[in-house]
Structure formats: C-alpha cells, structure tokens
Amino acid sequence: MYLIFVISIFTTVCSTQNLTNNGGKSYFFKMGKASNEFRVNNRIMYLNHNITDLELPVIERKRAQQTAKLHPKQEFNIYLDEEWNYDHNKNFSKYHLPMFVNKFYESASVDPNPKITTRILFNTNRNTTNLIIKFNLESLKNEDSTIEDADLYFYWPLKNNSKIFREAVVLRLYQIEKSKTGEFNQADLVGNPDTHKLFNVIYVSKAHKGWQMFNVKKPIDNWLKGEENLGLILTISNYDTNETIEIFNDTNIGNFTTFIITKSRTNDSLTNNTENRTVISPNYTSSECQREGWNVDFSTMGWNKFVISPEEFTAYDCIGKCTKSTRTDENHFKLLHMFQKRTGCCVPTKYFPLTMMFFDRYGDIAIKNYDKMIVAECGCR
C-alpha cells in the first residue's frame, strides 16, 4: 500500500536589516590570474555583527515538545527521498545550529527550484585540539550534480583584552597538502604554514569578534576531482610584520558552529522547475470539486527526528463531486460514458514545489526543493 500525501507551505520573505560595520572595513582578497598580486573586493558586512549571540527562543522548544506530547506518533518508513533512509535515532539537535541556517532555508523557499540543492557541512574537528578544519564531502560526491558555489563561515571569538583587538590583521586560508616526501605532520602547520596551498586572504583593519567568510569552491572542486582531503588551516597574522600570531583553533559550537554552505545543481535535464506551475486543463466541469485544508504535523509521523523545517503544514486535499462534461469534442469521454466505465474525479490540477531542510546521515544539513508537493488548485478529470 502506497502512502500518498500533499503538503503546502506558506513562505514569508523576511527583509534583511541594514547593519553597519562598527569594527572598520574588511576586504576580501583574491589572487590575480595574470600576476602574483591580490585583488581587493568588498566583503559582506552584516556577518561581522553579533546577531548570532541571540539564543533561539525557549518558547519554540517548548512548543515542539508539547506538540509531540499532544499527538501520538505513527512511524512512517516510506520516505520521499532515498537520502532519508538511515538510522534516525542518532542524536541530531535542531536547537543547536547556527542561526544563519534558517536564513538559507528562507532564501531557498522564496523561489524553490528542484534542480538546486543546498548543503551545510560542519567541521568534523570542531571543539577539539586539532587545528585542522575538515569537512565530510560524502554527500557531495554525486556524479549527476555540479557545485556552483561554496563558502566557509566561521565565528572569530576575539576577546577585547587581546593584544590584537582593533589592530590590523590578515587572515589566510590554506588547503593542506602533503610534503614532497608524501608525509604530513600537524606540528609543521605552526612552524611553516606557507608550505601549503594558499588560496584566499582577508584583510581586517580593526580586528574584533564576529563572523567572517571565505569562498572555498576551489578546494572543494579539487577534493571532488580526486585530491586527498586533508582539510584547511586558518592563520591570523600581524599586518605590519606579517608575523603569524596564531592558527585558528575551532572551539565554536552551537549557534557559532563553523560550517561550509554549498549550492549544487543537478545535471538531469528532465527536471524542470517550470513544470511545477503548469495548469492541467480539466476534462470535466463541476462547481463542487474544491480544495480542502489538511494539516500535516511531522512529529506525528516520526519525521521530526530528521526534518528541521518546516515542522508542520496546512496541507490540501481535493474533495467534491464531478458532473458530466459539457464539451462535445471529447471523444474519449464519450466512449467512457457509453461504456459507463467511470465518472469524473476531483483531483489536483496544479502543483507547487516544497522546500524542506533536514539532517542527512552524516549529521550535516541538506536543503532540497521537492517537486509537485503542494496542491495549488483542484479540478475534475
């Protein structure tokens, strides 16, 4: 027996607050192709503010807990996506994620495209003494998709009593490579990080705590093409003397967790977002066939163990009777009527896709747009 259901989502487009950078301008450097000089590009400014210092509202957590108590759970082992088929008893918490995660979900919901998948990968060495920033790329190893962009977000918890607070510094990001002998020693990172592949530099005129961003599409492309994924290292240097002050040790957790966000596009030419908004011309006429509200709560299905957003929906179903067709040019309908095979059925005639954010089997996050999930209109066929 197949489980068939339709889900609806109301998307709210949130306006972005215009924030100013109180800590001085930051710039984004890239190595020029024709020379060894760095080109200077403007950086995004709002990430340098402590908007993620806010914790998620406690009331949201209580509401989710109360919902689970009010509705008995019925486990569904038929999934919309093969990627959902894994052990959901793993301890993944949706309440200890970077707040930017919700912003990415809202952005993907504005104009959902089933060809686009967004993934958020977390540093596997976070909150350890390991200086290497490393990400599990297994979910990206898909021959049918192409990585369009990838950015690394990290929170710099610089204290006000630091010797470099409000001083000019340079942040350098390296892709780790083995030495010519084929060996690799983590102790060599501190002494000579320039032996590794430098691919991005940020100049900060007045250092302070806050979020920073590096584009990391190039190293991810390198790893997916076969280069060994040894990870990344991030160094902080004095601007005047170019002396390495420290190598970033990622102890950030919870709302400040370091992550990479990737956007990939499927190469399957059969997937077309425009099909989601195609109206099927009804073959029957009826004033009774209509769309009816239907609420779906993922907690009652057991899917709240891996689905992060949305938690529930006002979904739709099609109900009502359909009368005989008034058209005279429908020969197939005439045959059906002559042999009394069936009358018209009230069914969905227009669909929209649905954006869902969920944990994958690796504890990372995927944001996907699922085709023909929302019933927009009903009609008779």
| CA–CA dist 376, 10 (Å, integer) | 12
Identity of the residue numbered 358: F
Instruction: Convert the pLDDT of each residue in 350-377 to its tens digit.
Output: 887 889 999 999 999 999 998 877 788 8
| CA–CA dist 310, 59 (Å, integer) | 16
Query: In residues, how long is the chain?
Result: 381
* Residue 188, pLDDT score: 64
* Contact of 350 with 377, CB cutoff 8 Å: yes
Pairing status of strand 116-122 against strand 259-266: antiparallel
Structural tokens at position 143: 């021959």
Q: Is the pLDDT score of 283 beyond 60?
A: no
Structural tokens at position 225: 């093409």
The secondary element (H helix, E strand) that includes residue 231 is: none
What the chain holds in terms of domains, given with CATH numbers, is 26-54+116-266 (no CATH), 278-380 (2.10.90.10)
Instruction: Convert the pLDDT of each residue in 104-160 to its tens digit.
Output: 999 999 888 889 999 999 999 988 888 999 999 999 987 688 999 999 999 999 999
| CA–CA dist 138, 117 (Å, integer) | 15
Poorest-pLDDT segment among 24-33, 184-193, 289-298: 24-33
Q: Is the pLDDT score of 166 beyond 70?
A: yes
Instruction: Convert the pLDDT of each residue in 6-64 to its tens digit.
Output: 433 333 333 333 333 444 444 444 444 444 444 434 344 334 433 333 334 444 444 44
Nearest to 117 by CA among 306, 271, 312: 271
How large is the average pLDDT for residues 241-250? 88
DSSP symbols for 271-321: --GGGGGPPPPPSS--SS-EEEEEEEEGGGTTGGGTEEE-SEEEEEEEE--
Nearest to 252 by CA among 75, 127, 348: 127
